[in-house]
């Protein structure tokens, strides 16, 4: 995708527009992507996601313990954004949406990358010291959007209404009985 931004004004009149790729194409991200692809092609075993996430999470500077579960979610979102993702928390704080993944071009050939990201979010939340964890990571829920659904014991609804899906009406004309 392409991002448009105004150039610095050099005189009178409107500034000209500059265009650049909005994907993470910086040299460090490209280098990391190439290294990750090479490592994944050689990797085996079921612990790769947990091991990679543990190493990655421990290398993130400035992730302090959180005072509240909300702070834990906010700190995790901040850490993901510092890693090159575009992440936001839901208004309630029971989910984290990722709308830009710097590794999206690699996922088709290496789906374990999503497992690593799920484990990374879980590890980041764990480092906060709060009782918030990842219940599930919904991959590609919409084009370019993944959602980490969180478990939070501090969020208990006052009441839950369960809606039953209605099937066909057996008394309606043309419906087999």
Band (pLDDT 50/70/90 cuts) for residue 152 is very high
pTM of this prediction?
Answer: 0.69
Check residue 28 and give its pLDDT: 56
Query: Between 57 and 128, whose confidence is greater?
Result: 128
pLDDT digit string, tens, across residues 46-92? 577 788 788 877 777 777 899 999 999 999 999 999 888 999 999 99
The pLDDT of 102-129, averaged and rounded, is 86
The pLDDT of 116-134, averaged and rounded, is 93
Check residue 69 and give its pLDDT: 97
Check residue 88 and give its pLDDT: 97
Q: CA 134 to CA 148: how far, in whole Å?
A: 6
Task: Determine contact, residues 99/131, Cβ cutoff 8 Å.
Answer: no
Check residue 13 and give its pLDDT: 72
Q: Which residues pair with 129 in a beta bridge?
A: none
The pLDDT of 4-31, averaged and rounded, is 62
Check residue 129 and give its pLDDT: 93
Band (pLDDT 50/70/90 cuts) for residue 24 is very low
Band (pLDDT 50/70/90 cuts) for residue 103 is confident
Query: Between 111 and 36, whose confidence is greater?
Result: 111
Check residue 47 and give its pLDDT: 74
At residue 107, the 3 state secondary structure works out as: helix
User: What percent of the chain clears pLDDT 70, i.e. is strictly above it?
Assistant: 72
- Compute the Cα dihedral for 38, 42, 45, 51 and give only its sign: negative
Task: Determine contact, residues 48/36, Cβ cutoff 8 Å.
Answer: no
Query: Between 141 and 11, whose confidence is greater?
Result: 141
Q: CA 148 to CA 89: how far, in whole Å?
A: 9
pLDDT at 177 over 90: no
């Amino acid at each position: 995708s392409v991002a448009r931004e105004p150039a610095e004004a050099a005189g009178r009149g409107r500034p000209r527009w500059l265009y650049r790729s909005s994907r993470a194409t910086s040299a460090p991200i490209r280098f990391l992507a190439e290294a990750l692809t090479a490592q994944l092609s050689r990797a085996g075993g079921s612990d790769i996601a947990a091991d990679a996430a543990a190493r990655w999470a421990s290398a993130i500077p400035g992730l302090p313990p959180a005072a509240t579960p909300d702070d834990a979610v906010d700190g995790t979102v901040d850490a993901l954004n510092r890693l090159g993702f575009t992440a936001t928390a839901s208004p309630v704080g029971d989910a984290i949406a990722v709308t830009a993944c710097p590794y999206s071009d690699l996922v088709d050939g290496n789906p374990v990358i999503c497992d690593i990201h799920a484990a990374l979010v879980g590890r980041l939340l764990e480092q906060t010291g709060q009782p918030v964890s990842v219940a599930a990571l919904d991959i590609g829920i919409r084009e370019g959007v993944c959602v980490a659904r969180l478990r939070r014991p501090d969020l208990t609804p006052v009441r839950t209404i369960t809606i039953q899906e209605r099937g066909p009406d057996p008394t309606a004309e043309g419906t087999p009985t």
